[in-house]
Chains A and B, each alone.
Chain A
Amino acid sequence: MTIKHHLSDELLMAYAAADLPEAFNLVIAAHLSLCDECRARSMAFDALGGAVIEDSTCEMDEGSLAACLARIDGLAQVETAAPRRADAVLPAPLLDYVGGGLDRVKWRAVGMGVRQAILPTGDKGASARLLYIPGGAAMPDHGHRGLELTLVLQGAFRDEADRFGRGDIEIADASVEHTPVAEAGMDCICLAATQGSLKFNALLPRLAQPFFRI
C-alpha cells in the first residue's frame, strides 16, 4: 500500500499530547494503524513527551513510596497485551467503535446513493462517521466550518486537487470547498471526523442536513 497523504506534525503532536476531540483521535489512530511513516513520526512525538516529563519535578507526599510499595504487593503483572481484531477494511480502533467488522455497520441512506453511519464519540468537539460512496458517485458539494479529517478505507476518491486511496488522509478546513467524487469501480468507504457540522452549497442537501446530521 502506498500512502501519499499523511498527518501533519501539528496533528501528531496534539495526538501525542491527547489534546484533540475524540473523533479526531479516532481518525488518527486508524491512520496510524495503516501508515508506518506516520506511526514512526507519532512515536517521535511520544519521545518528545518523554523528554518533557523528564524536565520538571516536584515533591511527593511523605510516605508516598511506602504506599505504592504496599499497593504493588501481590499485584499481578500483565503477561501480554490483549489481542485486538481488525478486518480487511476496518483497522482495530474502528472495530471498537462499530462493535464488530464492516458487516456490523448500521448504514443509513443520505441520498444520491451515499450512506453514512455516525459513530458514538463522547465529547462535542467533533463528530465521526463512516461514509459509503458508490463508485463514480459524488459527495454533495460542501465546505467546512472547521477542521475535517477524511481517511480512505476502501476504494478511492478525487477532488479538484488530488487523489486519495486506502490509507490516505485528507486534511481540510474552512478555506476548502470541494466536490469529492468516488472513483469508478470499487465503492469508496471513508472515515470522516468533522469539527462542527458541514455546510452544503446546494439548497436541498442543506435542508436535509438537520435530519441526517451530516
Chain B
Amino acid sequence: MARRQCMMFDAMSPEKPDALVPPQLYAGRGAAADRKRGNLRLAADAEQTDWSALVFRVRDHQDRTAFAALFRHFAPRVKAFLMKSGASEALAEECAQDVMATLWQKAKLFDAERASVATWVFTIARNRRIDALRKSRRPEPEDLPWGPEPEPDQAEVFEAQQETERLGAALSQLPLKQRALIERAYFGDLSHSEIAAETGLPLGTIKSRIRLALDRLRQQMDVKATER
C-alpha cells in the first residue's frame, strides 16, 4: 500500500513543476519581515483575546461589539486568503463579508472543543471559496452524533486555540520553500506531487488529542445508550 500511496499524486498531476513558482516570487518582497510582524501580532492577540469567548457572546447575546472585534481580526485574513486563492479584490471583499455574516448566523454550531475560531473560520471561508470560484462540490462527512456542548470544557477550548497557535508558530519556522508549499496547497494552487509527506508539523499531537476526544465521546455515547 505504501507504494501505491506515494505514487498516486505523481500520476494525478504531472504538470505544474515546483520551479514554475519560485518561492521568493510567491512570497513577495519583505515577506519575512511581514511574517515576523504577523507572529508578534498573533502573540499579542493570544494574550489579549479569547476568540471563542467572543463567539459565545455572539451566540448567547447577539453581541455586536464582540462581532466587530471578530470582524476586525478575521475578515482581513479571510480576504487575504481568498485573494491568494485567485479571487479578485472585489470578490474577496464581498466573500469575506459573507464569511463573517455566516459566522454570526452559525455561532450556535461552533464547537470550541473541537476547533479554534481560526480553524472554524477557515472551514467557512473554504466552503465560500468553492461556491465563489466554482471549482467543485465538496461533500461533507456525516455529522458526529453529538453537537457542541452548551458549556464547553475550558481546558479543551484553550487547547484547541493553543493548537492553532502552535501550528502557526511551527509553520513560521519552516524553511520558506516548505512553508510556501503548504500555504499554496491551502490556496488551492499546488500540484499534489509537491506536497511533502513529511512536513515536520506537529499534526500527530492534534490527531491523537482529537482521537482521544472522539474515543471519550463515543464511550459517553455508549454509556448513555445503555442507561436508556
Contact = CB atoms under 8 A, between A and B. Distances in A.
Contact of B186 (A41, A49, A57, A65): A49
B77 A53 contact: yes
Interface in B39-55: 42
Interface in A64-87: 64-65, 67-69, 71-72, 75-81, 83-84, 86
Given A18-B188, A68-B71, A50 B116 contact: yes
B177 interface: no
B8 A51 contact: no
A172 B163 CA distance: 33
Interface of A: 5, 8-10, 13-22, 25-26, 29-30, 32-33, 36-37, 39-61, 64-65, 67-69, 71-72, 75-81, 83-84, 86, 91-93, 96-97, 121-123, 125, 146-147, 161-162, 171-176, 195
Nearest to B208: A40
B1 A162 contact: yes
Given A60-B93, A93-B139, A19 B188 contact: yes
Interface residues of B, number: 96
B142 A40 contact: no
A25 B187 CA distance: 17
B154 interface: no
Contact of A68 (B97, B121, B141, B182): B97
Contact of B192 (A14, A37, A72, A78): A14
A82 to B, nearest CB: 9
A53 B109 contact: no
13 contacts: A13-B195, A18-B129, A18-B188, A22-B137, A39-B214, A41-B203, A44-B203, A51-B170, A51-B171, A52-B183, A57-B80, A84-B142, A171-B5
Interface string B125-157: 111011000011111111110010000000000
A5 to B, nearest CB: 7
B79 A60 contact: yes
B122 interface: yes
